[in-house]
Amino acid sequence: MAIRQDTIIAIRKNVGGSEKVLRIANVNDKYQLCTYPADPEQEIDLKNHRWGHYFICGYKGYHEYAKTKGVNVGEPVGLDILVDGTVPTGSGLSSSAAFVCSSTIAIMAAFDVNFPKKEIAQLTCECERHIGTQSGGMDQAISVMAKTGFAELIDFNPIRATDVQLPAGGTFVIAHSLAESQKAVTAATNYNNRVVECRLAAVVLGIKLGMKPQEAISKVKTLSDVEGLCLSFASNHGSSDPVLAVKEYLKEDPYTAEEIEKITGENLASVLGNSPSSLDVLKAAKHFKLHQRAAHVYSEAKRVYAFKDTVSSNFRWVIISFAPPAGGVMVLHV
Protein backbone atom coordinates (compact mmCIF):
# COMPACT_ATOMS: atom_id res chain seq x y z
CA MET A 1 0.00 0.00 0.00
CA ALA A 2 1.11 3.60 -0.48
CA ILE A 3 1.45 6.27 2.21
CA ARG A 4 0.57 9.96 2.05
CA GLN A 5 4.16 11.17 1.91
CA ASP A 6 5.16 12.03 -1.63
CA THR A 7 7.68 13.51 -4.02
CA ILE A 8 6.63 16.48 -6.15
CA ILE A 9 8.49 17.79 -9.19
CA ALA A 10 8.11 21.05 -11.11
CA ILE A 11 9.59 20.96 -14.60
CA ARG A 12 9.92 23.27 -17.58
CA LYS A 13 11.68 23.21 -20.90
CA ASN A 14 14.60 25.61 -21.22
CA VAL A 15 15.03 26.20 -24.93
CA GLY A 16 16.56 29.67 -24.73
CA GLY A 17 20.11 28.83 -23.71
CA SER A 18 22.82 27.79 -26.14
CA GLU A 19 23.90 24.93 -23.86
CA LYS A 20 21.40 22.10 -23.49
CA VAL A 21 21.57 20.99 -19.85
CA LEU A 22 19.40 19.46 -17.16
CA ARG A 23 19.44 21.63 -14.03
CA ILE A 24 18.05 19.78 -11.02
CA ALA A 25 17.41 21.79 -7.85
CA ASN A 26 15.79 20.88 -4.55
CA VAL A 27 13.68 22.88 -2.12
CA ASN A 28 15.80 21.35 0.67
CA ASP A 29 19.22 23.07 0.90
CA LYS A 30 20.72 19.72 1.91
CA TYR A 31 20.67 18.75 -1.76
CA GLN A 32 22.91 20.89 -3.93
CA LEU A 33 22.09 21.88 -7.51
CA CYS A 34 23.00 19.12 -9.97
CA THR A 35 23.62 19.69 -13.67
CA TYR A 36 23.83 17.08 -16.40
CA PRO A 37 23.99 17.23 -20.19
CA ALA A 38 20.61 16.91 -21.91
CA ASP A 39 21.71 13.60 -23.38
CA PRO A 40 19.52 10.50 -22.99
CA GLU A 41 22.50 8.30 -23.92
CA GLN A 42 24.70 9.50 -21.05
CA GLU A 43 26.05 6.96 -18.59
CA ILE A 44 25.42 7.50 -14.90
CA ASP A 45 28.61 7.72 -12.84
CA LEU A 46 27.87 5.00 -10.30
CA LYS A 47 31.16 5.49 -8.46
CA ASN A 48 30.23 9.07 -7.53
CA HIS A 49 26.70 9.00 -6.16
CA ARG A 50 24.66 12.20 -6.51
CA TRP A 51 21.02 12.66 -5.60
CA GLY A 52 20.29 13.94 -9.11
CA HIS A 53 21.17 10.53 -10.53
CA TYR A 54 17.64 9.37 -9.73
CA PHE A 55 16.18 11.99 -12.07
CA ILE A 56 18.56 10.84 -14.79
CA CYS A 57 17.23 7.30 -14.31
CA GLY A 58 13.77 8.57 -15.24
CA TYR A 59 15.16 10.72 -18.04
CA LYS A 60 17.03 7.84 -19.67
CA GLY A 61 14.23 5.36 -19.08
CA TYR A 62 11.58 7.63 -20.58
CA HIS A 63 13.55 8.15 -23.80
CA GLU A 64 14.32 4.43 -24.13
CA TYR A 65 10.70 3.43 -23.65
CA ALA A 66 9.27 6.21 -25.81
CA LYS A 67 11.39 5.04 -28.73
CA THR A 68 10.09 1.48 -28.38
CA LYS A 69 6.53 2.88 -28.55
CA GLY A 70 7.25 4.85 -31.71
CA VAL A 71 7.10 8.24 -29.97
CA ASN A 72 9.10 10.96 -31.72
CA VAL A 73 11.26 12.25 -28.86
CA GLY A 74 12.88 14.89 -31.07
CA GLU A 75 16.17 16.60 -30.35
CA PRO A 76 17.19 16.88 -26.67
CA VAL A 77 16.24 20.14 -24.97
CA GLY A 78 17.33 21.70 -21.71
CA LEU A 79 15.15 21.17 -18.65
CA ASP A 80 14.84 23.04 -15.35
CA ILE A 81 13.68 20.79 -12.51
CA LEU A 82 12.69 21.60 -8.93
CA VAL A 83 12.15 18.74 -6.47
CA ASP A 84 10.31 18.67 -3.16
CA GLY A 85 9.36 15.66 -1.07
CA THR A 86 8.29 14.33 2.30
CA VAL A 87 9.32 10.66 2.01
CA PRO A 88 12.17 10.03 4.51
CA THR A 89 15.27 9.07 2.54
CA GLY A 90 16.96 5.73 3.17
CA SER A 91 14.17 4.65 5.53
CA GLY A 92 12.83 1.67 3.61
CA LEU A 93 9.77 3.65 2.45
CA SER A 94 10.83 3.69 -1.20
CA SER A 95 12.01 7.29 -1.47
CA SER A 96 14.10 6.35 -4.51
CA ALA A 97 11.10 4.76 -6.24
CA ALA A 98 9.01 7.83 -5.45
CA PHE A 99 11.70 10.06 -6.96
CA VAL A 100 12.16 7.95 -10.09
CA CYS A 101 8.41 7.59 -10.65
CA SER A 102 7.73 11.31 -10.20
CA SER A 103 10.71 12.17 -12.43
CA THR A 104 9.45 9.93 -15.21
CA ILE A 105 5.90 11.27 -14.99
CA ALA A 106 7.20 14.88 -14.91
CA ILE A 107 9.24 14.25 -18.06
CA MET A 108 6.19 12.73 -19.75
CA ALA A 109 4.22 15.88 -18.86
CA ALA A 110 6.99 18.15 -20.17
CA PHE A 111 6.87 16.40 -23.54
CA ASP A 112 3.06 16.01 -23.56
CA VAL A 113 3.22 12.20 -23.61
CA ASN A 114 1.16 9.75 -21.58
CA PHE A 115 1.33 6.00 -21.04
CA PRO A 116 -1.07 3.68 -19.14
CA LYS A 117 -0.30 3.15 -15.45
CA LYS A 118 0.73 -0.47 -15.99
CA GLU A 119 3.30 0.61 -18.55
CA ILE A 120 4.58 3.40 -16.30
CA ALA A 121 5.00 0.91 -13.46
CA GLN A 122 7.08 -1.41 -15.65
CA LEU A 123 9.01 1.48 -17.20
CA THR A 124 9.98 3.02 -13.86
CA CYS A 125 11.14 -0.34 -12.52
CA GLU A 126 13.55 -0.59 -15.44
CA CYS A 127 14.53 3.07 -14.97
CA GLU A 128 15.92 2.54 -11.49
CA ARG A 129 18.24 -0.20 -12.71
CA HIS A 130 20.28 2.55 -14.38
CA ILE A 131 21.55 3.49 -10.92
CA GLY A 132 22.82 -0.03 -10.26
CA THR A 133 20.06 -1.50 -8.10
CA GLN A 134 18.37 -4.68 -9.30
CA SER A 135 14.86 -3.48 -8.57
CA GLY A 136 12.05 -6.01 -8.71
CA GLY A 137 9.31 -3.47 -9.44
CA MET A 138 7.07 -3.75 -6.38
CA ASP A 139 7.85 -0.25 -5.07
CA GLN A 140 7.35 1.40 -8.45
CA ALA A 141 4.13 -0.52 -9.09
CA ILE A 142 2.46 0.58 -5.87
CA SER A 143 3.75 4.16 -6.24
CA VAL A 144 1.99 4.40 -9.59
CA MET A 145 -1.06 2.15 -9.10
CA ALA A 146 -2.13 2.82 -5.49
CA LYS A 147 -5.70 3.81 -4.62
CA THR A 148 -7.01 5.50 -1.48
CA GLY A 149 -8.57 3.00 0.92
CA PHE A 150 -7.07 -0.02 -0.81
CA ALA A 151 -3.99 -2.16 -0.64
CA GLU A 152 -2.91 -3.66 -3.96
CA LEU A 153 -1.97 -7.26 -4.60
CA ILE A 154 0.80 -6.88 -7.20
CA ASP A 155 1.53 -9.62 -9.72
CA PHE A 156 4.07 -9.62 -12.51
CA ASN A 157 4.54 -11.02 -16.02
CA PRO A 158 2.46 -9.12 -16.94
CA ILE A 159 2.33 -6.52 -14.20
CA ARG A 160 -1.13 -6.11 -12.69
CA ALA A 161 -2.76 -4.95 -9.46
CA THR A 162 -5.78 -6.40 -7.65
CA ASP A 163 -7.66 -4.09 -5.27
CA VAL A 164 -7.80 -5.24 -1.65
CA GLN A 165 -10.20 -3.00 0.25
CA LEU A 166 -8.93 -2.10 3.70
CA PRO A 167 -11.29 -2.24 6.70
CA ALA A 168 -13.09 1.01 7.50
CA GLY A 169 -11.40 2.71 10.43
CA GLY A 170 -8.31 0.53 10.15
CA THR A 171 -5.08 2.14 11.29
CA PHE A 172 -1.57 1.30 10.14
CA VAL A 173 1.40 2.66 12.07
CA ILE A 174 4.67 3.13 10.19
CA ALA A 175 7.52 3.86 12.59
CA HIS A 176 10.81 5.35 11.35
CA SER A 177 13.85 4.35 13.43
CA LEU A 178 15.82 7.27 11.88
CA ALA A 179 18.52 4.84 10.73
CA GLU A 180 19.29 5.35 7.04
CA SER A 181 20.42 2.88 4.40
CA GLN A 182 21.24 4.35 1.00
CA LYS A 183 20.57 1.32 -1.18
CA ALA A 184 22.31 2.63 -4.29
CA VAL A 185 25.49 3.30 -2.29
CA THR A 186 25.54 -0.05 -0.47
CA ALA A 187 23.91 -2.11 -3.23
CA ALA A 188 26.73 -4.65 -3.59
CA THR A 189 26.63 -5.64 0.08
CA ASN A 190 22.93 -5.19 0.84
CA TYR A 191 20.16 -4.68 -1.73
CA ASN A 192 21.73 -6.37 -4.75
CA ASN A 193 23.32 -8.99 -2.53
CA ARG A 194 19.85 -10.18 -1.52
CA VAL A 195 18.71 -10.21 -5.15
CA VAL A 196 21.70 -12.38 -6.10
CA GLU A 197 21.09 -14.73 -3.16
CA CYS A 198 17.45 -15.16 -4.21
CA ARG A 199 18.47 -15.90 -7.81
CA LEU A 200 21.07 -18.46 -6.71
CA ALA A 201 18.63 -20.05 -4.27
CA ALA A 202 16.09 -20.42 -7.08
CA VAL A 203 18.62 -21.98 -9.46
CA VAL A 204 19.88 -24.44 -6.84
CA LEU A 205 16.32 -25.39 -5.87
CA GLY A 206 15.48 -25.95 -9.52
CA ILE A 207 18.42 -28.32 -9.93
CA LYS A 208 17.71 -30.16 -6.68
CA LEU A 209 14.08 -30.59 -7.75
CA GLY A 210 14.93 -32.19 -11.07
CA MET A 211 15.87 -29.51 -13.58
CA LYS A 212 19.05 -29.93 -15.59
CA PRO A 213 21.69 -27.38 -14.52
CA GLN A 214 21.79 -25.56 -17.87
CA GLU A 215 18.00 -25.43 -17.99
CA ALA A 216 17.84 -23.95 -14.49
CA ILE A 217 20.54 -21.40 -15.26
CA SER A 218 18.86 -20.24 -18.46
CA LYS A 219 15.21 -20.30 -17.35
CA VAL A 220 15.14 -19.62 -13.62
CA LYS A 221 15.36 -15.94 -12.69
CA THR A 222 13.29 -15.69 -9.52
CA LEU A 223 11.99 -17.94 -6.76
CA SER A 224 8.57 -17.67 -8.36
CA ASP A 225 9.95 -19.67 -11.30
CA VAL A 226 10.49 -22.73 -9.10
CA GLU A 227 7.56 -22.26 -6.73
CA GLY A 228 5.55 -24.83 -8.67
CA LEU A 229 8.28 -27.43 -8.21
CA CYS A 230 8.44 -26.62 -4.50
CA LEU A 231 4.66 -26.95 -4.18
CA SER A 232 4.72 -30.30 -5.98
CA PHE A 233 7.38 -31.53 -3.57
CA ALA A 234 5.34 -30.29 -0.60
CA SER A 235 2.17 -31.91 -1.96
CA ASN A 236 3.93 -35.26 -2.27
CA HIS A 237 4.77 -34.95 1.41
CA GLY A 238 1.29 -33.98 2.58
CA SER A 239 1.88 -30.23 2.75
CA SER A 240 1.05 -27.08 0.79
CA ASP A 241 4.03 -25.09 2.03
CA PRO A 242 6.89 -24.50 -0.47
CA VAL A 243 9.24 -23.86 2.46
CA LEU A 244 9.25 -27.63 2.98
CA ALA A 245 11.39 -27.97 -0.17
CA VAL A 246 13.68 -25.21 1.09
CA LYS A 247 14.23 -27.07 4.36
CA GLU A 248 14.91 -30.29 2.46
CA TYR A 249 17.28 -29.04 -0.21
CA LEU A 250 18.96 -25.85 1.02
CA LYS A 251 21.22 -26.04 4.05
CA GLU A 252 20.88 -23.35 6.71
CA ASP A 253 24.60 -22.62 6.81
CA PRO A 254 25.72 -20.06 4.21
CA TYR A 255 27.05 -21.44 0.93
CA THR A 256 30.45 -20.59 -0.48
CA ALA A 257 30.82 -19.72 -4.14
CA GLU A 258 32.64 -23.02 -4.67
CA GLU A 259 29.73 -25.02 -3.22
CA ILE A 260 27.21 -23.36 -5.54
CA GLU A 261 29.49 -23.77 -8.55
CA LYS A 262 29.78 -27.48 -7.80
CA ILE A 263 25.97 -27.79 -7.90
CA THR A 264 25.49 -25.70 -11.05
CA GLY A 265 28.59 -26.79 -12.94
CA GLU A 266 29.23 -23.14 -13.86
CA ASN A 267 31.11 -20.25 -12.30
CA LEU A 268 28.82 -17.80 -10.53
CA ALA A 269 29.55 -14.92 -12.90
CA SER A 270 28.25 -17.03 -15.77
CA VAL A 271 25.21 -18.19 -13.79
CA LEU A 272 24.31 -14.55 -13.15
CA GLY A 273 24.77 -13.52 -16.77
CA ASN A 274 27.91 -11.47 -16.08
CA SER A 275 25.76 -8.45 -15.23
CA PRO A 276 27.89 -5.60 -13.80
CA SER A 277 25.79 -5.19 -10.64
CA SER A 278 25.92 -8.93 -9.95
CA LEU A 279 29.68 -9.00 -10.50
CA ASP A 280 30.02 -6.25 -7.88
CA VAL A 281 28.14 -8.50 -5.45
CA LEU A 282 30.43 -11.44 -6.19
CA LYS A 283 33.48 -9.29 -5.51
CA ALA A 284 32.14 -8.27 -2.10
CA ALA A 285 30.42 -11.45 -0.90
CA LYS A 286 32.22 -14.24 0.92
CA HIS A 287 29.16 -16.46 1.36
CA PHE A 288 25.50 -16.66 0.33
CA LYS A 289 22.45 -17.27 2.55
CA LEU A 290 20.31 -19.27 0.14
CA HIS A 291 18.13 -21.05 2.71
CA GLN A 292 17.26 -17.85 4.56
CA ARG A 293 16.39 -15.92 1.40
CA ALA A 294 14.16 -18.61 -0.08
CA ALA A 295 12.38 -19.33 3.21
CA HIS A 296 11.76 -15.61 3.74
CA VAL A 297 10.37 -15.02 0.24
CA TYR A 298 7.99 -17.97 0.31
CA SER A 299 6.80 -17.32 3.87
CA GLU A 300 6.29 -13.61 3.14
CA ALA A 301 4.27 -14.46 0.04
CA LYS A 302 2.08 -16.75 2.15
CA ARG A 303 1.51 -13.94 4.66
CA VAL A 304 0.51 -11.57 1.85
CA TYR A 305 -2.29 -13.88 0.75
CA ALA A 306 -3.27 -14.49 4.39
CA PHE A 307 -3.59 -10.72 4.86
CA LYS A 308 -5.70 -10.43 1.71
CA ASP A 309 -8.01 -13.20 2.90
CA THR A 310 -8.28 -11.68 6.36
CA VAL A 311 -9.25 -8.17 5.27
CA SER A 312 -11.63 -9.60 2.68
CA SER A 313 -13.45 -11.73 5.26
CA ASN A 314 -15.16 -8.79 7.06
CA PHE A 315 -14.23 -10.30 10.43
CA ARG A 316 -13.22 -7.96 13.21
CA TRP A 317 -9.46 -8.10 13.48
CA VAL A 318 -6.53 -6.27 14.94
CA ILE A 319 -2.82 -6.61 14.44
CA ILE A 320 -0.42 -5.49 17.15
CA SER A 321 3.15 -5.37 15.94
CA PHE A 322 6.29 -4.30 17.76
CA ALA A 323 10.01 -4.77 17.54
CA PRO A 324 11.51 -6.59 20.55
CA PRO A 325 14.92 -5.45 21.86
CA ALA A 326 16.72 -8.30 20.11
CA GLY A 327 15.29 -7.26 16.75
CA GLY A 328 12.65 -8.81 14.54
CA VAL A 329 8.91 -8.29 14.64
CA MET A 330 6.30 -9.92 16.84
CA VAL A 331 2.72 -9.96 15.56
CA LEU A 332 -0.44 -10.73 17.53
CA HIS A 333 -3.65 -11.54 15.65
CA VAL A 334 -6.98 -11.22 17.49
| Nearest Cα to Cα of residue 280 among 55, 89, 124, 46 | 46
Catalytic residue status for 139: yes
Q: How far is CA 85 from CA 9, 10, 235, in A?
A: 8, 11, 48
Three-class SS state of 145 = helix
Q: Which of 39, 80, 139, 155 is catalytic?
A: 139
b/e string for 104-137 if b means 16 or more Cβ within 10 A?
bbbbbebbeeebeeeebbbbbbbbbebbbbbbeb
Strands (E) in 134-222, as ranges, are 150-155, 160-165
Burial level of 71, CB count in 10 A (0-12/13-18/19+)? middle
| Positions marked active-site | 139
